Amino acid sequence: MATEQALKQRSNSSCELCGSTENLSVYPVPPTSDLSAQQSIYTCQGCLSQIEGKTELDVNHWRCLNDSMWNQEPAVQVMSYRLLHKLSTESWAQDALDMIYLEDEVRTWAEQGIAAEQTNGPTRDSNGAELQEGDNVTLIKDLKVKGANFTAKQGTMVRGISLTDNPEHIEGKVNGTRIVLVAAYLKKA
């Protein structure tokens, strides 16, 4: 458990994302962690369950990223960047993403994980809820539909969605027209 001891010391026995001091464990940062302290973070169970998708993302909990994104450890910067990217529909998270600075190799590591998640992960709505075939969703903003000459209005219900090969997109009917929608602009009904 040399990695855990190193992380305990590095983090002062607190979660490197939110600062909690309870139920801490080592989280190897994917996609290519070698299980060393340099490629892992020390995190609490609350953060870990949201990172792994076992519980929905709690937007207010992740406001702690405004602090953790400035951590000197690349692994913490990578996780902060990835979580801010997931929350980028929130204005404060987008502002933080605009401010964050990552060295080139750290940014590459962060973006590799995002790409791996997008190709392998489930389709999620703007709140992080997993979408399934046949679910009903609601638009959270007005969307101009290219080629169909109309705007899908905020609050429009899309019933019986279909999933696509890309976890960022779903298919559904709006105004009688079958279109592809970005999952980040939807909320599970």
User: Which CATH fold would you assign to the domain 137-188?
Assistant: SH3 type barrels. (2.30.30)
Looking at per-residue pLDDT, the higher value among 118 and 16 belongs to: 16
Q: 73-96, pLDDT tens digit by residue?
A: 999 999 999 999 989 888 999 999
DSSP character string of 83-144: HHHHTTTSHHHHHHHHH----HHHHHHHHHHHHHHHHHSPPB-TTSPBP-TT--EEESS-EE
Tell me the domain boundaries of the chain: 2-120, 137-188
pTM for this predicted structure: 0.62
Mean pLDDT of 137-164: 88
Location of structure tokens 């980028």: 88
